[in-house]
């Protein structure tokens, strides 16, 4: 069984959200997310203030992943934070709550940010993109208003319609990927929740082909970084499918984790943690064995335990006995004996 974090453990993870190391921060975000609803009250206190902007941003990222209605009020309150990074993180954390029972309240607050010319441009654009995850008819009046805004970036964000994003996504599903991975990433964020599951599956397949055709090499090389950018796109599609409860591309998720020679974007871990079943456990064990990166191994172990708990996997289960036979040391690390 996965062990729930104790109070002191939660405090240690929250402190790690302020680490100078991005790896440590990402690890803390992942572990806090796995703590589930139990961590929400503490995260809400952090978001309310009294700590650094970096810690508040990290806490908001966890709340975004948890999508807990209990966090709605503090998330919306953080929209007026003076630190733009905090406010932008609050915008992102509000998106999963837009379809909830108090979604209209979140829509109103995000709309207020989008139309407020006194707010930072980056924040207004983020609010527009967040609102564009809703049905086009819902936000059509807002986009019409913003089409004449004096801020060019705001006008451009409003002009990038659902139709445009849908065209990009449909073309990608047909095998016509845009030149820039960021364009497809934006389309997925805007309309991925409304796209057909089959189209999203096809996007994964075509993006994976593009990755395979890209060179491997030293970090910093332009073409190599392009390969990693496409991997981020594929991870985002997996995360989108996972939030919709779909396992249509679980096969690719399993293979990607098993074959990864280096840490993958966190969207892969988030997706497998949410929708992985017993068939994902052995690929995770293989990845754990073949990689030496401590942070990546921590994420794999956390995902393994979360899946085993949700799927009621025990040491008597066939998949566990298989892993124990081939990789006893790995199993002991991933699934300690009670």
Instruction: Answer yes or no: is 12 within a domain.
Output: no
Instruction: Answer yes or no: is 61 within a domain.
Output: no
What pLDDT is attached to residue 224?
64
pLDDT beneath 50: ranges in the chain: 1-5, 218-220
To which residue do tokens 């030293």 refer? 218
Instruction: Answer yes or no: is 208 within a domain.
Output: yes
What pLDDT is attached to residue 159?
81
3 state SS of 50: coil
- The tally of domains found in the chain comes to 1
Instruction: Answer yes or no: is 223 within a domain.
Output: yes
Instruction: Answer yes or no: is 198 within a domain.
Output: yes
What pLDDT is attached to residue 149?
92
What pLDDT is attached to residue 163?
53
Count Cβ atoms within 10 A of the Cβ of residue 83 and give its class: 0-12 exposed, 13-18 middle, 19 or more buried.
middle
Structural domain range at position 189: 161-248
Instruction: Answer yes or no: is 175 within a domain.
Output: yes
pLDDT in tens, 274-308: 999 999 999 999 999 999 999 999 999 999 999 99
Instruction: Answer yes or no: is 199 within a domain.
Output: yes
Query: Is the separation of the CB atoms in 285 and 252 below 8 Å?
Result: no
Instruction: Answer yes or no: is 213 within a domain.
Output: yes
Q: What is the pTM of this model?
A: 0.60
Count Cβ atoms within 10 A of the Cβ of residue 194 and give its class: 0-12 exposed, 13-18 middle, 19 or more buried.
middle
What pLDDT is attached to residue 222?
56
């Amino acid at each position: 069984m996965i062990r729930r974090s104790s109070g002191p453990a939660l405090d240690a993870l929250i402190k790690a959200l302020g680490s100078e190391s991005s790896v440590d921060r990402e690890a803390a975000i992942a572990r806090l997310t796995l703590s589930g609803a139990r961590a929400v009250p503490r995260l809400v206190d952090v978001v309310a203030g009294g700590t650094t902007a970096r810690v508040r941003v990290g806490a908001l990222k966890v709340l975004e992943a948890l999508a807990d209605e209990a966090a709605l009020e503090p998330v919306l309150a953080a929209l007026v934070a003076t630190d733009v990074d905090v406010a932008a993180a609050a915008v992102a954390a509000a998106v999963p709550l837009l379809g909830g029972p108090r979604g209209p309240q979140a829509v109103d607050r995000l709309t207020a940010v989008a139309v407020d010319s006194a707010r930072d441009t980056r924040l207004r654009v983020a609010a527009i993109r967040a609102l564009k995850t809703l049905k086009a008819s819902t936000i059509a009046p807002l986009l019409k208003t913003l089409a004449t805004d004096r801020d060019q970036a705001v006008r451009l964000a409003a002009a990038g319609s659902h139709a445009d994003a849908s065209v990009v996504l449909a073309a990608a599903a047909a095998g016509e990927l845009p030149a820039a991975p960021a364009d497809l990433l934006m389309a997925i964020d805007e309309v991925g929740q409304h796209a057909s599951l089959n189209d999203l599956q096809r996007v994964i397949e075509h993006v994976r082909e593009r990755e395979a055709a890209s060179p491997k090499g030293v970090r910093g090389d332009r073409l190599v970084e392009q390969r990693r950018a496409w991997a981020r796109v594929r991870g985002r599609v997996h995360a989108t499918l996972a939030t919709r409860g779909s396992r249509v591309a679980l096969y690719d998720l399993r293979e990607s984790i098993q074959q990864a020679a280096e840490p993958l974007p966190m969207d892969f871990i988030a997706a497998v943690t949410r929708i992985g079943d017993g068939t994902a456990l052995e690929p995770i064990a293989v990845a754990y064995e073949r990689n030496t990166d401590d942070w990546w191994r921590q994420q794999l172990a956390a995902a393994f335990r979360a899946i085993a708990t949700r799927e009621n996997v025990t040491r008597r289960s066939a998949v566990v006995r298989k892993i124990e036979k081939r990789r006893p040391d790995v199993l002991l690390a991933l699934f300690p004996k009670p």
